[in-house]
């Protein structure tokens, strides 16, 4: 495509790239995870961070909210947490004698569902309507959530004490599943030498955007064209997950649509005016792994490892358009 045919990037695009740079000063060691998290937000999706405690999952959520200029709420999921503790509850207004809805912590632009798999399935399900439709229903009343709305959930490995696996229907509502991993030795040494707490680092982050700016970026990123050949390639990979002998469950149609949105957002962040097969490849593991159910392998680290192997196999076998 000729340079003069490419649409100009919106003025906010440089701001979101600065958001990325700012967040990487706080969350070190995995720039690809930070970029994928930003791409998921631009695609209007939700993020699941699956990793061991103490690697910066909560810090990433707080840094993104602060740098994006969005409201932030943290919900600590525990075994005794109730759905009403998440979405809110009707209370009696003694002054008027009428019921009044008291909003729960779900009413924020970016909601951190911390250790989501430590809560009961009933409480986990309180997020489903919010994640699917950006609204909650309480006593036959529907309440819209503020746009942009994103759930960023952290999850301890299933093998850890007191953790419950998320059902497939809920996993499918997370656009991406990311792992931060341990930082490289140089980054970890710098953190120790600087002796600066996460709170101190976060206080130094400026707000580069605001909710309206994020919404404008979401619309701009989803306007990036995804051509027919790239769409066929993406769907060939999706079909491969559904037919693979090692999988009991492949990628859903919702997952396929989400993959297109994520590829558009990545192309936008890369500064391109159209989606390339490389955008599909670069987002495959983050989008697919948590949606695949390997045959004969219980939920856990082994299942994730097998899912990643299948994705690698499909990426090597399915020919990408040139």
pLDDT score for 7: 43
pLDDT above 60 (res 101) = yes
pLDDT at 127: 87
Q: Is the pLDDT of residue 2 over 50?
A: no
Residue 277 CA from chain centroid, whole number: 21
Residue 132's SS3 state is helix
How many Cα atoms sit within 13 Å of 277 on the Cβ side? 15
CATH superfamily, domain at 1-223: P-loop containing nucleotide triphosphate hydrolases (3.40.50.300)
**pLDDT greater than 50 at residue 6:** no
Dist. CA 134–CA 145, nearest whole Å: 5
Reported pTM: 0.90
CB-based contacts of 238-243 (< 8 A; 24+ apart in sequence): 240/314, 240/317, 240/318, 241/288, 241/291, 241/292, 241/310, 241/314
Burial 133-167 (b: 16+ CB within 10 A, else e): eeebebeeeebebeebbbbbbbbbebeeeebbebe
Confidence of residue 160 (pLDDT cuts 50, 70, 90): low
CA 112/CA 229 separation, integer angstroms: 37
pLDDT computed for residue 49 by the predictor: 93
Handedness of CA 251, 252, 254, 257 (dihedral sign): positive
Report the pLDDT value the prediction gives residue 165, as an integer from 0 to 100: 74
The model's pLDDT over 78-96, given as tens digits with 9 standing for 90+, comes to 889 999 999 999 898 888 8
Q: How confident is the model at residue 203 (pLDDT cuts 50, 70, 90)?
A: confident
* Beta carbons of 262 and 175 less than 8 angstroms apart: yes
- Residue entry with tokens 């037919």: 243
Helix axis angle, 253-269 to 12-26, nearest 10°: 100
Domain 224-322, CATH: 1.10.8.80
Continuous segment of H or E residues that includes residue 130: helix 126-133
As a whole-number percent, the residues of the chain with pLDDT over 90 amount to 63
The ranges assigned to domains in the chain are 1-223, 224-322
The pLDDT of residue 269: 96
The pLDDT of residue 4 is 44
pLDDT digits (tens, 9 = 90+) for 229-264: 999 999 999 999 999 999 999 999 999 999 999 999
Higher pLDDT, 296 or 41: 41
């Amino acid at each position: 495509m000729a340079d003069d045919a490419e649409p100009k990037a919106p003025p906010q695009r440089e701001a979101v790239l600065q958001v990325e740079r700012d967040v990487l000063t706080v969350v070190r060691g995995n720039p690809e995870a930070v970029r994928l998290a930003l791409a998921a937000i631009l695609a209007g999706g939700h993020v699941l961070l699956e990793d061991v405690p103490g690697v910066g999952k909560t810090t990433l959520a707080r840094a993104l909210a602060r740098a994006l200029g969005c409201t932030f709420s943290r919900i600590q999921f525990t075994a005794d947490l109730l759905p009403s503790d998440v979405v809110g509850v009707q209370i009696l207004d003694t002054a008027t004698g009428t019921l009044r809805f008291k909003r729960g912590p779900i009413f924020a632009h970016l909601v951190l569902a911390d250790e989501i798999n430590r809560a009961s399935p009933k409480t986990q399900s309180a997020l489903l309507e919010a994640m699917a439709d950006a609204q909650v229903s309480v006593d036959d009343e529907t309440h819209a959530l503020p746009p942009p709305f994103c759930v960023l959930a952290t999850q301890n490995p299933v093998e850890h004490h007191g953790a419950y696996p998320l059902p497939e229907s809920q996993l499918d509502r997370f656009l991406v599943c990311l792992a931060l991993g341990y930082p490289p030795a140089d980054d970890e040494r710098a953190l120790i030498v600087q002796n600066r707490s996460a709170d101190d680092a976060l206080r130094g982050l400026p707000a580069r955007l605001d909710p309206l700016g994020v919404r404008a970026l979401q619309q701009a990123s989803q306007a990036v064209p995804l051509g027919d050949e790239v769409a066929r390639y993406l769907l060939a990979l999706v079909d491969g997950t559904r037919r693979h002998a090692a999988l009991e469950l492949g990628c859903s149609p919702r997952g396929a649509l989400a993959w297109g949105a994520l590829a558009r957002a990545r192309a936008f962040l890369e500064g391109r005016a159209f989606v390339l097969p490389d955008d599909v490849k670069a987002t495959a593991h983050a989008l697919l792994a948590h949606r695949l159910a390997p045959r004969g392998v219980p939920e856990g680290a082994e299942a994730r490892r097998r899912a990643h192997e299948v994705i690698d196999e499909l990426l090597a076998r399915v020919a990408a358009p040139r």
